[in-house]
Amino acid sequence: DAMVIQNPRYQVTQFGKPVTLSCSQTLNHNVMYWYQQKSSQAPKLLFHYYDKDFNNEADTPDNFQSRRPNTSFCFLDIRSPGLGDAAMYLCATSRAEVGSYEQYFGPGTRLTVT
Amino acid sequence: AQSVTQLDSQVPVFEEAPVELRCNYSSSVSVYLFWYVQYPNQGLQLLLKYLSGSTLVKGINGFEAEFNKSQTSFHLRKPSVHISDTAEYFCAVSSRNTGNQFYFGTGTSLTVIP
């Protein structure tokens, strides 16, 4: 089945230690998104890629970076995680075509910062 | 920018009773409306969507929603809930003006009581 895959599902890192979360998709969608979701809150968009074009949200901290080496993979790098970065991180994809606005979500990676 | 309001943060309901989860959005032309469900420690799964056409939309798991343009609402309903429907429900909006960007509501936690 075509899907969005996130690895790992659970990640523990130490305060200040860089961490990378990964997302892959078999849907061949050209748009990929990273969301941060804290407990009992809605997902908050961090950034998205439209093909290779990177679009950063204005309030996304510089501590968060992203890479998209090819259509299928996208990475979220947190350069120096703080305790406030503990959250669920969701990857999503969509097709950038008129009438295809649905986003497909992965299962998420729950990040714990110790 | 769009805004989405989910009026009820928590909804307890007895098993086999009907339920309605409310969603209102700020007025805009050509909106696209979505309901997603999120089970604990999982990603978001699409329940249903309204892009155009019939205002009554049927989704998975027996859910339906009605698009009401004059009231800018997209309430989610189910005539008889099951224990397995206990989850967080998010309403989301996008539009031609915002391209692929979603605006999420703050979520409604549905608890089905045996």
Q: Which residues contact A79 (CB under 8 A, 6 or more apart)?
A: A18, A63, A64, A65
| Res. B64: pLDDT tops 90 | yes
Per-residue pLDDT band at B61 (split at 50, 70, 90): very high
For testing contact with chain A, the best of B100, B101, B104, B109 (most A CBs within 10 A):
B100
Amino acid at A28: N
pLDDT of residue B102: 85
Residue of A nearest to B106 (CA): A42
B106 with A41: Cβ contact below 8 A: yes
Token duo for residue A18: 């860089």
Instruction: Give the lowest-confidence range in A9-13, B29-33, B40-44, B110-114.
Output: B29-33
Residue whose token pair is 């849907």: A27
User: Is B90:B38 a contact under the CB 8 Å cutoff?
Assistant: yes
Instruction: Read off the pLDDT of each residue in B83-88 and give the average, rounded to a whole number.
Output: 96
| Res. B110: pLDDT tops 70 | yes
What span, in angstroms and rounded, lies between the C-alpha atoms of B65 and B73? 10
Q: Which residues contact B2 (CB under 8 A, 6 or more apart)?
A: B25, B26, B28, B31, B93, B94, B95, B98, B103
Tell me the residue length of chain B: 114
Interval A40-99: pLDDT, tens: 889 999 999 999 999 998 899 999 999 999 999 999 999 999 999 999 999 999 987 766
Q: How far is B71 from chain A (nearest CA, A)?
A: 23
pLDDT of residue B98: 66
B107 with A102: Cβ contact below 8 A: no
Interval B2-48: pLDDT, tens: 789 999 999 999 999 999 999 999 866 778 899 999 998 889 999 99
Looking at beta carbons, which residues of chain A come within 8 Å of B41? Answer: 88, 108, 110
What's the angle, vertex CA A94, arms to CA B46 and CA A25, rounded to 5?
95
Instruction: Read off the pLDDT of each residue in B65-87 and give the average, rounded to a whole number.
Output: 95
A45 with B102: Cβ contact below 8 A: yes
Token duo for residue A75: 């990475």
